[in-house]
Amino acid sequence: MSGARKNDNKLGLVGVSLTRARTPRHFFDVAPKVEEELGALMESSGYLADAPFEWVTLALRFGLKNEEKPHYQRINKKYGDLPLGIEVDIREVLKADEAGPEELKRLFMIASLKALIDAGKKYNLLVREMEELLEKLTSEE
């Protein structure tokens, strides 16, 4: 099912600009941390145990709104990933980026968890631990 991959992360994040705004300064420092933390949670929580995919590619779309649900593409049979995309408000992203890497990470974690939880519910996967983490992160606002 899967083709060659550079690493064993279970989550791959990419940033896509839907506006003319600049890429967040801390994006390349924060994205790998989010991938690592949520990828580990995907494995330890049993999220991937019965999944019809091996990992998730998530495009954080820097636009003008915050979406609650991701956009889906077909599971990639060659690489085994489920491609998802979710729009995040670039104004909030840039504000979080100015506040520092921890705030940007929290914002990316929230958007990523929303997408993963929605996909988990769609495919009947275990999402309880992700829901708990999302609740904790959103209560810190």
71-72 and 81-89 beta bridge pairing: antiparallel
Tell me the pLDDT tens digit for each residue of 43-55: 999 999 999 999 9
For residues 116 and 17, give the distance between their C-alpha atoms in angstroms, rounded to a whole number: 21
Tell me the pLDDT tens digit for each residue of 48-94: 999 999 999 999 999 999 999 999 999 999 999 999 999 999 999 99
> Vertex 51, ends 16 and 11: CA angle to 5°?
30
55-63 and 11-17 beta bridge pairing: parallel
